[in-house]
Structure 1
Amino acid sequence: MKRIRRTVKTENPILQAPQRSKKQKTFFYGSAFGKSHLQTLMDWGTLPLHVVLHIFQFLPLVDRARASSVCRRWNEVFHIPDLWRKFEFELNQPATSYLKSTHPDLIQQIIKRHADDLQYVSFKVDSSTESAEAACDILSQLVNCSIKTLGLISTAKPSFMNVSKAHFASALTVVFVNSKSLSSIKIDDTPVDDPSLKVLVANNSDTLKLLKMSSCPHVSPAGILCVADQCHGLRELALNYYILSDELLLALSSEKHVNLEHLRIDVVSENPGQIEFHTIKKQSWDALVKHSPKVNIVMYFFLYEEEFDAFFREETPVTHLYFGRAVSKAMLGRIGMNCPRLVELVVCANGLQPLDDELICIAERCKNLTAMGLGECEVTCRGFIEFVKMCGGRLTQLSIMEEVLIPDNDYNLDQIHSEVSKHLGRMWFPDMMPTW
């Protein structure tokens, strides 16, 4: 019986279909079992293109490419533009990562045949400078692109920060100039600078909706203000606190600007006393909330206790607060008094002073609070139950380590879960420290 199955040589050497031995070929064609498989293969080969395309969309990249070597029809499907709208380039060095990189031949094939099909693109790199530079080299070649979303992801620092600012800015400018329809950009921990942002604004001001650029030390308040002034469709913004200003909040609150939906602010200090944190005026916060009443304002704090003086002295419309380092009782007290829109509060550590009064104040004044997490803190069982009782069923997330709770004359640890469960309206237990 003549062999019917034909293979098409793929353009990519890593994507060849597995080869069968002569013995396997004989079995495939000579037995009844083999004949049924041959018929199945022929049936697969006659599937409508849209069905094969749908199947290809669910296959991992390597399996998809191997399938493309089965026949010319499937190879044609492999190159249909819809399959290349979304792509993640993975660039890793064997010495610094156990993850595999996107094969160089496949990268060149994408640049040659599918650069203008790419719309949702991300680059995931390890900590090495070589990987980040390779990502910049690829970006520099995307001169015929229509990218809508771009993400640069470092799985570990320093990566992009070790690339020369000129090389990075040049590569990014290629995409900013040629895309002209960028709506989402995530470029945290990169050497992006003010001139690059001006190029972004000049070419994508009508389409940009999300900009995430925390830990970008070469961007100034003037650079981000330029974005806010010109990109009136911006709905989500993430940045470091040192870039935040009264002028920026007022620009986001102008009549021309759409309602802001999400504002994330990272407040970070590596060495205590190195940065003097400024205070944002209450009038500026009020203008933003008046213009965008449903905005989520998320703040991540990585400060030392003595650096909190500039924060929450006046009413602040923050909705989500996360403290990655120890925070004082006084600071938590100010949060209770001045954060009426608070929805979620996570405290990594506090110390050895019970937080009963602070939690009760937060429960009384923060009527929107639905999530609470406490790490290395202390609160009496009575105080904690009072807090839960005041919040009631609206407290949908409650994560407290058992070590946080201090038994008192009213309650012990054996009683705490049933009492808290009663007020929450669902079964609840404190989190346990792993024993391993």
Structure 2
Amino acid sequence: MKRGRVNIAAKCQSFSPTQSRAKRQRTGQGVSASQSHVPDWGSLPHHIVLHIFQYLSLVDRARASSVCRCWNDVFHIPELWRRFEFELNQPATSYLRSTHPDLIQQIIKRHAQHLQYVSFKVDSCTESAEAACNILSQLVNCTIKTLGLISTARPSFMNVSQSHFVSALTVVFVNSKSLSSIKIDDTPVDDPSLKVLVANNSDTLKLLKMSSCPHVSPAGILCVADQCHGLRELALNYHLLSDELLLALSSEKHVHLEHLRIDVVSENPGQTQFHSIKKSSWDALIRHSPQVNIVMYFFLYEEEFEPFFCDETPVTHLYFGRAVSKDMLGRIGLNCPRLVELVVCANGLEPLDEELIRIAERCKSLTAIGLGECEVTCSGFMEFVKMCGGRLSQLSIMEEVLIPDNSYSMEQIHSEVSKHLGRIWFPDMMPTW
């Protein structure tokens, strides 16, 4: 497809009317009947050329802009510059191409005020993150609505001087005044910069994703929830979650929250103390936002799960990236009635029949489940599938998870599960390469 786009630009350039006429005059060629029907690409209406440009990659669009003056004018129409992704990579460490420095300067000079949906994609090098900060600090005449800072490998923004990063980000927070979506995961954003964000964009902010931002405190995120009453989606680390935050999101002034993502992460076992959230705080959130999706990603060690799911918790999506105990899965069956999706990376060598059956009994909204390094007897698994039936839209079970018994063999499992799901189903196979 990309090759085709380049060819289109090249052909259009070859059909440029001034170039074609000049060439015929030099060679003494006349205009035949067939040549008289060659399209005059340079005289296409602006709106048609603009529509074509919207489907071209940035490189092809730049090449096409050199066809004629008309196309160059279209190249600079503000509508084409509302959405832009700056790619910043170091040649020594990345095979991806960076946005050309000349184009970056052209954008800053001519199109900064047109940018509305902007993202910065950087590799693992600190130099790339610093370059992103340098660009951000120059966007003083912007009206950005969406801002995303993305590290494609290691979070390189964390290696930038905090003062440099916060200063650059504050430029956008102060000058945009219409920010609705911000994704700044794995960055050194801090409480004072969030206060600047709130002071200038409290009426427009709808989405804030800021997981793994160690310089933000619970007070900082509470300030956002207290003032940004239009906030619909929020992603943060568990240490920022508090009863006060949930109550702020449940106030009468606040719109209905649609999506709350919580990352529960521990790097060193025993080093992090996890607090509990009151059932009354969860209840307040659900009364205010009954349709909210509450997504929790767990990367804990088994001994660190004690504070979780001791009382009813309105979580809808649960993902366990490390081993989780039978006791914990039993608690989920008892205290997570709103559960929609469950993914367990590992458990151990104890069959989970009772836990799965309890989840099927009590989690009436469950539609998706995935099991990795776990064990379930074929009979227990079949009982689980029978209880859930056709509402299981996603059922991902590794073949190694299932333990044949006197009731079912591996050959029987395939047909029996397919019958209850109402579609063809096979267990997942471990790749052999």
Deviation per CA, 1:46-77, whole angstroms, max 9, x where unpaired? Answer: 22111110000000001001111111111110
Q: Which amino acid aligns with 2:163?
A: A
Q: Is 1:29–1:38's contact at 8 Å kept on the other side of the alignment? A: no
Q: 1:384 to 1:148 in 2, by over 3 A?
A: same
Q: 1:211 to 1:38 in 2, by over 3 A?
A: farther
Q: Which amino acid aligns with 2:38?
A: T
Q: Following the alignment from structure 1 to structure 2, what is the Cα–Cα distance between the partners of residues 38 and 307? A: 78
Q: Which amino acid aligns with 1:307?
A: E
Q: Following the alignment from structure 1 to structure 2, what is the Cα–Cα distance between the partners of residues 188 and 37? A: 57
Alignment pair present for 1:253 and 2:250: yes
- Give the CA deviation at 1:35: 8.5
Alignment pair present for 1:142 and 2:139: yes
- Give the CA deviation at 1:254: 0.2
- Give the CA deviation at 1:435: 1.5
Q: Following the alignment from structure 1 to structure 2, what is the Cα–Cα distance between the partners of residues 102 and 198? A: 32
> Residue in 1 aligned with 2:122?
125
- Give the CA deviation at 1:40: 3.4
1:381 to 373, 378, 381: 378
2:100 to 85, 99, 103: 103
> Residue in 2 aligned with 1:166?
163
Q: Is 2:155–2:187's contact at 8 Å kept on the other side of the alignment? A: no
> Residue in 2 aligned with 1:212?
209
- Give the CA deviation at 1:30: 7.7
Structure 1 unmatched runs, 5+: 1-16
Q: Is 2:24–2:30's contact at 8 Å kept on the other side of the alignment? A: no
> Residue in 2 aligned with 1:238?
235
Q: Which amino acid aligns with 1:154?
A: S
Q: 1:37 to 1:431 in 2, by over 3 A?
A: farther
> Residue in 2 aligned with 1:425?
422
Q: 1:373 to 1:70 in 2, by over 3 A?
A: same
> Residue in 1 aligned with 2:353?
356
> Residue in 2 aligned with 1:114?
111
Q: Which amino acid aligns with 1:208?
A: L
Deviation per CA, 1:59-100, whole angstroms, max 9, x where unpaired? Answer: 000100111111111111000000000000000001111100
Q: Is 1:177–1:200's contact at 8 Å kept on the other side of the alignment? A: yes
Q: 1:27 to 1:265 in 2, by over 3 A?
A: farther
1:396 to 390, 393, 398: 393
- Give the CA deviation at 1:411: 0.3
1:70 to 67, 72, 87: 67
Aligned residues: 417
TM-score (ref. length: structure 1): 0.92
> Residue in 2 aligned with 1:281?
278
Q: Which amino acid aligns with 1:377?
A: C
- Give the CA deviation at 1:333: 0.3
Q: Which amino acid aligns with 1:140?
A: S
> Residue in 1 aligned with 2:403?
406
Q: 1:116 to 1:421 in 2, by over 3 A?
A: same
- Give the CA deviation at 1:234: 0.1
> Residue in 1 aligned with 2:4?
none
Q: Is 1:224–1:243's contact at 8 Å kept on the other side of the alignment? A: yes
Alignment pair present for 1:346 and 2:369: no
> Residue in 2 aligned with 1:13?
none
Q: Is 2:376–2:402's contact at 8 Å kept on the other side of the alignment? A: yes
Q: Is 2:124–2:152's contact at 8 Å kept on the other side of the alignment? A: yes
Q: 1:260 to 1:35 in 2, by over 3 A?
A: farther
Q: Following the alignment from structure 2 to structure 1, what is the Cα–Cα distance between the partners of residues 397 and 233? A: 31
